[in-house]
């Protein structure tokens, strides 16, 4: 007797006739119960309108369009290789969050405000300590014998150069500086990145100082004008 496959479960009405997926209305009704609901956030074309984006529901005719989506991080690979992620289940579409949002693997912090971050305050204090010795520190880093010409240097080498220019950083201070720059595959930091961070933070501090003293300067100018007149 030949072996036959039982396909009766495929004849069910819900399988053959209906395929449910969340659409704009169901998503909108679910979101209305949240405290952060905004009616205009569900405009047409947003990811919230079509939350089920996958390789089966989303298609781009030109492969270069896929490449563009990958490079500008509109398409995020959660697993697998980049070359196969276009036609496997590992491709997801990045949802749209407000500007300034921080996205990590496990959570998304919406509307990230760096002025409220204690780590940024700590970085500002470290920059105030490093900035006076920055010129001498860069010369010492460029003369260090175990560094890459592109500026990549180990943490130990960076600390050695700091000690050479009489710049003593605490471990917490160095970690605050190290966290502000990216690392390469070998775990090294780039002292050109450190210099950019120091200069950028110092420039922002100077700008804030000018802004804070502007009313006082205006008051002094007015008193001077009155005295002259």
Q: Check residue 40 and report its DSSP letter.
A: G
How many domains in the chain?
2
* Section 201-217 average pLDDT: 67
Which domain range does residue 50 map to?
16-109
pLDDT at position 173 is 93
* Section 179-187 average pLDDT: 84
* Section 52-80 average pLDDT: 61
Asked if residue 223 and residue 124 are part of one domain, the reply reads: yes
pLDDT at position 167 is 96
How many other CB atoms are found less than 10 A from the CB of residue 134? Answer: 17
Q: Are 150 and 188 in contact (CB under 8 A)?
A: no
pLDDT greater than 70 at residue 21: no
- Domain membership flag for residue 10: no
pLDDT at position 66 is 67
How many other CB atoms are found less than 10 A from the CB of residue 214? Answer: 10
pLDDT greater than 60 at residue 35: no
- Domain membership flag for residue 181: yes
Residues 6 or more apart whose CB falls under 8 angstroms from that of 17 comprise none
pLDDT at position 69 is 67
For the entire predicted model, the pTM comes to: 0.45
Asked if residue 192 and residue 131 are part of one domain, the reply reads: yes
Q: How many Cα atoms sit within 13 Å of 38 on the Cβ side?
A: 7
Q: Among 89, 109, 129, which residue terminates a domain?
A: 109
pLDDT greater than 70 at residue 17: no
């Amino acid at each position: 007797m030949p072996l036959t496959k039982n396909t009766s479960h495929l004849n069910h009405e819900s399988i053959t006739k209906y395929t449910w997926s969340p659409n704009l209305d169901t998503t909108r009704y679910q979101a209305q119960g949240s405290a952060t609901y905004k009616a205009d956030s569900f405009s047409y074309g947003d990811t919230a309108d079509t939350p089920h984006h996958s390789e089966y529901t989303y298609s781009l005719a030109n492969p270069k369009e896929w490449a563009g989506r990958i490079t500008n991080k509109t398409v995020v690979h959660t697993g697998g290789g980049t070359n196969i992620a276009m036609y496997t289940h590992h491709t997801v579409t990045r949802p749209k969050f407000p500007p300034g949002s921080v996205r990590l693997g496990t959570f998304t912090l919406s509307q990230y405000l760096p002025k409220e971050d204690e780590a940024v305050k700590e970085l500002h204090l470290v920059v105030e300590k490093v900035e006076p010795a920055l010129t001498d520190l860069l010369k010492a880093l460029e003369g260090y014998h175990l560094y890459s010409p592109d500026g990549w240097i180990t943490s130990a080498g960076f600390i050695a150069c700091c000690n050479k220019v009489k710049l003593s950083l605490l471990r917490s201070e160095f970690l605050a500086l190290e966290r502000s720059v990216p690392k390469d595959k070998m775990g090294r930091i780039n002292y050109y990145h450190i210099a950019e961070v120091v200069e950028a933070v110092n420039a922002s501090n100077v700008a804030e100082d000018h802004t804070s003293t502007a009313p006082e300067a205006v008051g002094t100018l007015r008193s001077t004008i009155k005295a002259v007149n």
